[in-house]
Structure 1
Amino acid sequence: MQYTSYRRRVSLVGLAVWLLLAVAAATAAPATFERAKIEARQHIYADRSTAGTLYCGCAWDWAGRSGGRIDFASCGYAVRAQETRAARLEWEHVVPASNFGRARQCWQEGGRRHCNATDPVFNAMEADLHNLSPSVGEINGDRSNFRFTVLPDAARQHGACDFRVDFSQRAVEPRDAVKGKVARITFYMHDRYDLPMADAQQRLLMAWDRQFPVSEWERERDRRIAARMGHHNPFVTGERQWQRGHRNSGEGVLSRLPDTHPAVREPHAGQPVRGNRNSNLYHLPTGCPGYHQISARNVVEFDDEQAALAAGFRKAGNCR
């Protein structure tokens, strides 16, 4: 009798352990970008292929493990330049991988491939489902790592798709329907992974957050992702609000990022940082010989070095 009771208790304990492991496995965040794309298809967007891609609202037909074929007619899409890429579904990092990668030492030492091989924090950022959305491949390429802005004078270049891009300014404006969504995703990534954000970008995204409140699909998307990742986007649930000068939680950083990017110094009072859109380098008003040598048509000005870095520029190598 006692032996039978003991065996029953052992069986129950084993079952409880198995259930805990099963729950943990079900809510474990994907470890790689490739795995994240598969989980995004299977668990987040499986029933959303007719609801439309992020920037254009195009429907698609699933193909392969995580890809798809875009239905141009569903959204009036017109190919700008890359027909093959435009026809396929890709997974857009709303906060681009190159932007969050530059905050990691691994990126300085060898770029994305080196980060994938050596840095678990970078892999977590790259595979974060909250930051991934389906996109027309060509739009994903045209967006690149450009900053968000308002482009009232920019013409549409992709048919009826209301996505505006200014390649000379390295800037894009998404359609109104997703402006609030991209703002809250950007807040989440910068807060969770302790990333710097330029003041001008903060102010723009805060305005979009207020103007375009959380939709029912955005809430449902957050619930689905939380079931896989184990946590919500607090800027969607309302647990957090972004304010200028926001202090990041850094909850997703295993090895803390420095408070300031090593290349970033205090802004230079009264003088902007100048970028060269031709070389993609930026120059400081003091200590950088190239500051006054940039052709006027190639000058892009920033409030500070953080803004230049966030826009994808690198500090000129001859700066002292």
Structure 2
Amino acid sequence: MLLMLLRFFLFVALVFSTSLLAAPATFDRAKIEARQFIYHDRNQQGDFYCGCNWEWVGRSGGRIDLKSCGYQVRAQQTRAERIEWEHVVPASNFGRARQCWQNGGRKNCNDTDPVFNAMEADLHNLTPAIGEVNADRSNFNFTMLSNAKPQHGQCPVKIDFSARAAEPRDAIKGQIARIYFYMHDRYDLNMSRQQQQLLMAWDKQFPVTEWERERDKRIAKRMGHSNPFVTGERTWSLGHKNRAEGVVTQLPSRQTQQTPSVPSSPPIKANKNSRVYHLPAGCPGYQQISPANTIEFKTEHEAIAAGFRKAGNCR
């Protein structure tokens, strides 16, 4: 009897600890976890873009103290007064890399693509920011804007709406670079040569800070992995070859929950470079994929949900 009770408590402890380490499956859940576990004690340390303090409100929101940083509202009073969760690499940017976005935008990706949901909910890419600045930055690329002037009072962020570009304050330039490296490496996203060169310069000029290391440790406890560009396990060089570790995920989508597929054997093989998958029967390229480039799926549905397409020469 004692042995049975011991096994039961061990099982409960294992399930509980596993659930704690599970990455958030949705953006809404990620915002709650970011507030509870990552930034819970940082609201008096300043938001991402402006360094403004805020009071927590609700499960994931906040009310900005505009006077704490000399912020002046540019156009949107309501959004200027609240904390929002900013995707440093914008959701529209990584969404356009997925087929689901072409077939119906963000909602379709949320409904059908577990990889998009993983990217959208990735805590490494989320930071608290003043809502108006979040809106003004939009999905603009980061760059240097030497001739532009701040438009939000003493908040040092610069926005050039005509050029669709933004320059953040120096204190976060290195962090932005390492978040971009992480997202592009993990989810196999393309980055222009010009953007690579700029972010490599920022990474070198603005090294990892004590808070950035602490933030990474906190996120790793929720996500199950660190940002290797923060820990120093990886470095980015021009023409970097992405690891694409986040392209295959176990996060379920509503579509896979509604229409479960029967696993196939042997597995479907896909080429992570060409984004093409091959069936074990009827596809000449099935045996021709390099092992280093091979990703396996149990079903065609899984391959399609992950953003792959069927090889054109399959019979």
Class of the TM-score when normalised by the shorter of the 2 chains: 0.7 to 0.9
Q: Which residue of 1 is the match for residue 170 of structure 2? A: 176
C-alpha separation between the residues in 1 aligned to 2:109 and 2:82?
26
Q: Indicate whether 1:149 and 2:143 are aligned.
A: yes
Q: Tell me the alpha carbon deviations over residues 177-196 of structure 1, each in whole angstroms, 9 at most, x when there is no partner.
A: 00000000111000111100
The question of whether the paired residues in 2 share the 8 Å contact of 1:87 and 1:137 is answered with: yes
Partner Cα distance (1:53, 1:68) in 2: 10
TM-superposed deviation, 1:258: 5.7
Which letter maps to 1:107? W
Moved over 4 A (4+): 255-258
Return the match for 1:259 from 251, 255, 273. Answer: 273
Q: 2:219 aligns with which of 222, 225, 228?
A: 225
Aligned mates of 2:89, 2:275 — CA distance in 1: 17
1:109 alignment counterpart: 103
CA distance in 2, matches of 1:213, 1:251: 25
1:161 maps to a residue whose letter is: C
1:97 is aligned to 2:94: no
* Residue in 1 that maps onto 2:3: 9
Aligned residue for 1:287?
none
User: Could you tell me which residue of structure 2 aligns to residue 85 of structure 1?
Assistant: 79
CA distance in 2, matches of 1:161, 1:12: 57
Q: Which residue number corresponds to residue 264 of structure 2?
A: none
Task: Give the residue type in structure 2 aligned to 1:87.
Answer: E
- Rounded Cα–Cα distance in structure 1 between residues aligned with 2:123 and 2:146: 31
Query: Is the contact made by 1:56 and 1:162 (CA closer than 8 Å) also made in structure 2?
Result: yes
| Percent of matched pairs sharing the same residue | 66
AA in 1 matched with 2:76:
Q
1:197 aligns with 2:211: no
Question: SS of the residue aligned with 2:104?
Answer: helix
Q: Distance in 1 between matches of 2:67 and 2:11?
A: 51
The Cα offsets for residues 129-188 of structure 1, whole Å up to 9 and x where unpaired, read as: 000000000000011110010001001100000000111111100000000000001110
Q: Secondary structure at the match of 2:153?
A: coil
Q: Look up the SS of the partner of 2:55 in the other structure.
A: strand
Is 1:127 aligned to residue 121 of structure 2? yes
Whole-angstrom CA distance in 2 between matches of 1:62 and 1:141:
20
Counterpart contact for 1:104–1:257, Cα < 8 Å: no
- Flag structure 2 segments of 5+ consecutive residues without an equivalent: 250-269, 277-315
Q: TM-score, normalised by structure 2?
A: 0.79
Shift in Å, 1:261: 8.8
TM-score by length of 1: 0.78
- 2:232 aligned partner, one-letter code: G
- Per-residue CA deviations over 1:91-135 (Å, capped at 9, x if unaligned) read 000000000000111100000011111111101100000000000
Q: Secondary structure at the match of 1:117?
A: helix
User: 2:130 aligns to what?
Assistant: 136
Residue pair 1:190, 1:196 contacting (<8 A) in 2 also: yes
Report the alpha carbon displacement of residue 10 of structure 1 after superposing the two structures with TM.
2.4
Kindly state the Cα deviation for residue 16 of structure 1 after the two structures are TM-superposed. 1.9
Which residue is equivalent to 1:309? none
